[in-house]
Chains A and B, each alone.
Chain A
Amino acid sequence: MKAVCWMGTEKVTVENVPDPKILNPRDAIVRITSTCICGSDLHLYNGLIPTMEQGDILGHEFMGEVVEVGGAIDREKLKVGDRVVVPFTIACGRCFFCQRQLWSCCDNSNPNYWIAEQMMGYSPSGLFGYTHMMGGYAGGQAQYARVPYADVGPLKLPEGVPDEKLVFLSDIFPTGYMGAENCDIKPGDTVAIWGCGPVGQFAIRSAFMLGAERVIAIDRFDYRLRLAAQAGAEIINYEEVDDVVQTLKDMTANIGPDACMDAVGMEAHDHSFMYLVDRTKQAMKIETDRPIVLRQCIQACRKGGTVSVPGVYAGFVDKLPMGAYMNKGLAMKTGQTHMMRYMKPLLERVEKGDIDPSFVVSHRPSINQAPEMYKIFRDKQEHCTKVVLDPWADGAAAA
């Protein structure tokens, strides 16, 4: 089959690889019909997250049709022919954490638990198409994928709704939604959201769904800010203001946003001096992540407010304003998305027509174009907001 492989920093190729096999009794094999490039794949593309290996298959946002199931799968739950969307976090459904709905903290799904344990104390769940620290599972930017614990993760989908409306249930829609839920929104609240990429876009819409009075969206690309404004957000282009924190003060009568969301993560940009310092440290590998947005969130948030962090961080950050965080009595909520909490309710919202997630798609190329698309998406060319790859388009099917 064809698969998008990570071959080194900024080196992604489409390779012919063996088809996936069932390895465990609760596995299933899915024939993929749509698969996306995620902003968090770009951290891997840029070589910033350790424990990638040459030849790893990328991709963690995919959907398709079940073509094979393992012996221990209850056919009532999943059978060949089912149309499913697969969550990017892998969860066993039976451990302490899964039973408390903390799906992305599953205790059993990471075969390389001990590597993550070295760095984080305990390991979160395994992820598709990510680092070996996170399990090293082959990903879904391919024609087929092996899905472990297939009786827990995949959500069965109705026929007749196009892929573009459903595929984002695999990650970014629930991730944006959980980011908004973590803002602990009360009536009258103002939520400031840094980053208007796909997760930010879903977070903006989710914040309104959850009752936010105002959403202020912050980015530097006009095409993304326009999309945010279409959802009803007020916008700040941070390259056009002197100081984001001051601008937010001015916009909120000097009380500050009730909640601040970092939907950017470890590769944030800014025009400040600190940006250059962080960028240099990251290049020298003495700091893994650039917490520029996180710092601004903590500074800007009103006293007693909430900082929500759906943006991905990998390792260590410097100069976090802990004094402000402590003295202002802030709370921080974060985590990889507890996917299985959100997929079904959000599918219902899509079916009811509350939201059409396909608004975010800008490119729908064949899998063969994945290498160029990584670059285009990373460099924000062609007003690229979201890439959905078709694994079977133009000749790919012949492979």
Chain B
Amino acid sequence: MNQVAGLLVRDADTVSGDAGSFQRWAALIGGGSLALVGLTRRSKSGVAMAAAGGLLAYVGATADRIPRVIVASSSVLVNCSPQEAYQFWRNFENLPLFMRHLESVSVSGDKRTTWIALGPLGTRITWDAEIVTERANEVIEWQALPGSRLRVDGSVEFRSAPANRGTIIQAMMRFRPPSGGVGRAVAKIFGKYPNFVMRQDLRRFKALVETGEIPTTEGQTHGPRSLKIAVLRLADPDRPLRPESRITEVLNALRRIA
């Protein structure tokens, strides 16, 4: 399955978002000019302006590439029994605990679920899915309901590792993003390396099941940060940008420098 996933991702065709081309040019031109103005200012605020403009232009230039299929697939060895892993996953409402890009999954009935994912800058993408295959402690497969705007399916397998080494978990999610805003949002979530996103999610799943918590330093105390670091933190590939997320940190850093 991994091989297939790799091929699909590498060879996935891109379709250009027709509705997005105006925004794209606007971003490109607007961002470019902002960067130029910023650069000619020769001050700290000018540098910030140039950086913001550059970023906008970059986003504009790269915004329209939507792959036809996005497959995120990975595996992890968890120090628990297949039953424990299965039960934790089977309660789909647990998924957002370790899948950072999900805001919530709500369960309606035994097999039906409603998913809300976080797109860029806190936008929300919603779809309904149902479980199509299920064998206790072995496998769960689910699929978006027919007629759903976003076609998405996923699966997770649980296998005992030899010599009591725990459980091997292989998970996969496949998106067929539509053109336009929703498709772009989905493409943004998974970026260039969808398997990386899944690997990170599984790593958090493992930590939760094994230790009861996900390791973190978010919110810990620290000394004065620089603007550079504040900006780098926002660009962390492992975290979705939520409306409330650490933009305040950038603003605080800016205030300290100004």
Residues of A near any B CB (own CB < 8 A): 1, 3, 5-7, 13, 15, 17-21, 23-26, 53-57, 72, 92-96, 99, 107-111, 113-114, 126, 135-138, 146, 148-149
Contacts and interface: CB of A to CB of B under 8 A. Distances in A.
Interface of B: 77, 79, 165-166, 196, 199-200, 203, 206-207, 210-226, 228-229, 238
14 contacts: A6-B223, A17-B222, A20-B220, A23-B216, A24-B215, A53-B225, A54-B229, A56-B222, A56-B223, A94-B210, A108-B215, A111-B214, A113-B203, A138-B220
A135 B217 contact: yes
B225 A96 contact: no
Contacts of B207: 92, 108
Nearest to B200: A114
B109 to A, nearest CB: 32
Contacts of B212: 25-26, 72
Contacts of B213: 24-26, 72
B223 A5 contact: yes
> Which residue of A7, A25, A55 has the most chain B CB atoms within 10 A of its CB atom?
A55
Chain A interface helix/strand/loop/mixed: loop
Contact of A111 (B217, B224, B228): B217
B201 to A, nearest CB: 12
| Top 5 A-B residue pairs of the complex, sorted by shortest distance between their CB atoms | A5-B223, A55-B223, A15-B223, A55-B225, A111-B215
A21 B216 CA distance: 12
Contact of B221 (A7, A21, A99): A21
Contacts of A15: 223-224
Nearest to B213: A24
A138 B199 CA distance: 26
Contact of A23 (B77, B219, B223, B228): B219
Chain B interface helix/strand/loop/mixed: loop
A15 B224 CA distance: 8
Contacts of B224: 5, 7, 15, 54-55
Contacts of B219: 21, 23
A111 to B, nearest CB: 4
A21 B217 CA distance: 11
Contacts of B225: 53-55
A106 B216 CA distance: 15
> Which residue of A1, A21, A113, A136 has the most chain B CB atoms within 10 A of its CB atom?
A113
Contacts of B196: 114
B211 to A, nearest CB: 4
B221 A96 contact: no
Nearest to A14: B223
Contacts of A57: 221-223
Contact of B222 (A26, A55, A113, A149): A55
Contacts of B223: 3, 5-7, 13, 15, 17, 54-57
B74 to A, nearest CB: 12
Contacts of A25: 212-213
A49 to B, nearest CB: 16
Contacts of B238: 114
A273 B3 CA distance: 49
Contacts of B211: 26, 92-95, 108, 149
A3 B221 CA distance: 10
A111 B208 CA distance: 12
B229 A55 contact: yes
A139 to B, nearest CB: 10
Contacts of A114: 196, 199-200, 238
Contacts of A146: 220-221
A126 B215 contact: yes
A72 B208 CA distance: 13
B79 A96 contact: yes
Given A92-B210, A111-B217, 18 more contacts: A6-B223, A15-B223, A18-B221, A20-B220, A21-B220, A25-B213, A26-B211, A55-B223, A57-B221, A57-B223, A92-B207, A95-B210, A96-B165, A108-B206, A111-B216, A114-B238, A138-B222, A146-B220
A26 B214 CA distance: 10
A6 B224 CA distance: 10
Contacts of A93: 211
A184 B79 CA distance: 31
A53 B231 CA distance: 12
Nearest to A148: B215
B247 to A, nearest CB: 18
A94 B213 CA distance: 12
Nearest to B232: A53
A26 B208 CA distance: 12
B169 to A, nearest CB: 14
A334 B246 CA distance: 39
A109 B215 contact: yes
B240 to A, nearest CB: 15
B59 to A, nearest CB: 23
A307 B250 CA distance: 47
A13 B223 CA distance: 9
Contacts of A95: 79, 206, 210-211
> Which residue of B165, B207, B213, B214 has the most chain A CB atoms within 10 A of its CB atom?
B213
Contacts of A92: 207, 210-211, 215
A113 B207 CA distance: 12
Contacts of B200: 114
